[in-house]
Structure 1
Amino acid sequence: MRRNAVLLTILFAFAVTLISVTFVFWEFYKNNRAQYIDNIFNKYTVITQIYREHMMKHTSEAILEANLAVYGLSNIQGDAAVRAVFDKADILKRVGFQEVVRTMHFSNEAMHALDRVSDLRATMLESEGKIYFFLETPQGRFLLLDEQLRPYFPTHLLSAYLTIVFVIAWAVFIIWRRIRPLRILTKRVIRYAGGDRDVVFEMRGGNEIAILANELEQARKNINTLIESRTLFLRNVMHELKTPIAKGRISAELLAEPKQKARFNNIFLRLEQLINEFAMIEEASSGFGNKHIGTYRLVDLIDEAIDQSMLEPEMISVDVDSSERMACDFTMMATVIKNMIDNGVKYSPDKRVAISMEGKELVFENRGEKLRHPLRYYVEPFTKEHPARNSFGLGLYLVDAILHAHDLQLAYAYDEGVNRFYITAL
Structure 2
Amino acid sequence: MSIFYKVIIFFLITFSLMFFVSIEINKLTKDTIEMLLRDKYIHVSGELFKYMSNSDQKSLEERLKELKFEIVEDKGRYIEKSHILHEYNTDFSTIKILRDKENKYLLYMKYLDDEMLVIDLSQDNNFEKKEFLNYMIVADIFILILLCLIILKMVYPLKDISKIIRKFGEGEYCLRIKTGCKDEIGEVAKTFNSMASNIQDLITSRQRLLRDIGHELKTPISKSKIALDMIEDTKYKRILNKALFQIDEMINELLCLEKLNANQNKLNIENFSSDTLVGEALSKLFIEDENLVDITIESSFKIKGDLNYLSIALKNLIDNALKYGTQKPVYVVVRDTNISVKSIGDVLDKPLEYYCEAFTQGDNSRNQSGYGLGLSLVRRIMDKHGFELLYYHDGKFNVFEIVV
| TM norm structure 2 | 0.76
- Alpha carbons 2:109, 2:117 under 8 Å: kept: no
Q: Rg: which structure is higher? A: 1
- Alpha carbons 2:389, 2:401 under 8 Å: kept: yes
Using the TM superposition, give the Cα deviation of residue 395 of structure 1 relative to its aligned residue in structure 2, in angstroms: 1.7
Bigger RCO (CA 8 Å, 6+ sep)? 2
Q: Distance in 1 between matches of 2:157 and 2:315?
A: 48
RMSD of aligned alpha carbons: 4.3
Q: Distance in 2 between matches of 1:345 and 1:274?
A: 17
Match of 2:71 in 1: 72
Match of 2:44 in 1: 46
Q: 2:272 aligns to what SS in structure 1? A: strand
Q: Distance in 1 between matches of 2:159 and 2:232?
A: 70
Structure-2 change in CA distance of 1:353 and 1:369 (3 Å): same
Moved more, 30-39 or 342-351: 30-39
The answer on 1:384 being equivalent to 2:358 is: no
Equivalent residues in 2 for 1:215-364 (5 A)?
Answer: 215-255=191-231, 258-311=234-287, 312-314=289-291, 315-319=293-297, 321=299, 324-328=302-306, 330-346=307-323, 347=325, 349-358=327-336, 360-364=337-341
Equivalent residues in 2 for 1:131-150 (5 A)?
Answer: 131=105, 146=118
- Alpha carbons 1:354, 1:366 under 8 Å: kept: no
Match of 1:182 in 2: 158
Equivalent residue in structure 1 for 2:391, among 412, 418, 423: 412
Q: After superposition, what is the alpha-carbon deviation per residue over 1:347-370, rounded to whole angstroms, capped at 9, x for unaligned?
A: 152413122133x44333344433
Match of 1:209 in 2: 185
Q: Distance in 2 between matches of 1:365 and 1:185?
A: 47
Match of 2:375 in 1: 396
Q: 2:284 aligns to what SS in structure 1? A: helix
Q: Partner letter of residue 412 of structure 1? A: Y
Q: Distance in 2 between matches of 1:143 and 1:34?
A: 28
Structure-2 change in CA distance of 1:390 and 1:367 (3 Å): closer
Q: Distance in 2 between matches of 1:280 and 1:162?
A: 64
Q: Partner letter of residue 213 of structure 2? A: V
Q: Distance in 1 between matches of 2:161 and 2:284?
A: 45
Structure-2 change in CA distance of 1:144 and 1:399 (3 Å): farther
Structure-2 change in CA distance of 1:34 and 1:331 (3 Å): same
Between the two proteins, the alignment pairs up a number of residues equal to 382
- Alpha carbons 1:202, 1:217 under 8 Å: kept: no
Structure-2 change in CA distance of 1:323 and 1:145 (3 Å): farther
Q: Partner letter of residue 313 of structure 2? A: V
Q: 1:333 aligns to what SS in structure 2? A: helix
Q: Distance in 1 between matches of 2:398 and 2:116?
A: 102
Q: Distance in 1 between matches of 2:6 and 2:74?
A: 60
Q: After superposition, what is the alpha-carbon deviation per residue over 1:79-117, rounded to whole angstroms, capped at 9, x for unaligned?
A: xx99x97xx6556xx99xxxxxxxxxxxxxxxxxxxxxx
Structure 2 gaps of 5+ residues are none
Equivalent residues in 2 for 1:71-220 (5 A)?
Answer: 71-72=70-71, 124=97, 126=99, 129=103, 131=105, 146=118, 154-204=130-180, 206-220=182-196
Using the TM superposition, give the Cα deviation of residue 158 of structure 1 relative to its aligned residue in structure 2, in angstroms: 0.9
Q: Distance in 2 between matches of 1:35 and 1:89?
A: 16
The answer on 1:423 being equivalent to 2:391 is: no
Using the TM superposition, give the Cα deviation of residue 162 of structure 1 relative to its aligned residue in structure 2, in angstroms: 0.6
- Alpha carbons 2:97, 2:108 under 8 Å: kept: yes
Q: Distance in 2 between matches of 1:143 and 1:168?
A: 52
- Alpha carbons 1:302, 1:334 under 8 Å: kept: yes
Using the TM superposition, give the Cα deviation of residue 337 of structure 1 relative to its aligned residue in structure 2, in angstroms: 0.8
Q: 1:364 aligns to what SS in structure 2? A: strand
Q: Distance in 2 between matches of 1:357 and 1:146?
A: 98
Using the TM superposition, give the Cα deviation of residue 258 of structure 1 relative to its aligned residue in structure 2, in angstroms: 1.5
| TM norm structure 1 | 0.72
Higher fraction of helix: 2
Q: Partner letter of residue 189 of structure 1? A: I
- Alpha carbons 1:317, 1:353 under 8 Å: kept: yes
Q: After superposition, what is the alpha-carbon deviation per residue over 1:21-62, rounded to whole angstroms, capped at 9, x for unaligned?
A: 97489558735752564256313233222334555x5x69xx
Structure 1 gaps of 5+ residues are 96-119
Q: Partner letter of residue 179 of structure 2? A: M
Q: Distance in 1 between matches of 2:235 and 2:138?
A: 97
Match of 2:3 in 1: 5
Q: Distance in 1 between matches of 2:338 and 2:100?
A: 78
- Alpha carbons 1:131, 1:145 under 8 Å: kept: no
Q: 2:172 aligns to what SS in structure 1? A: coil
- Alpha carbons 1:410, 1:421 under 8 Å: kept: yes
Q: 2:329 aligns to what SS in structure 1? A: coil
Give aligned-pair identity as a percent: 21
Q: Partner letter of residue 105 of structure 2? A: I
Match of 1:375 in 2: 352
Using the TM superposition, give the Cα deviation of residue 234 of structure 1 relative to its aligned residue in structure 2, in angstroms: 1.9
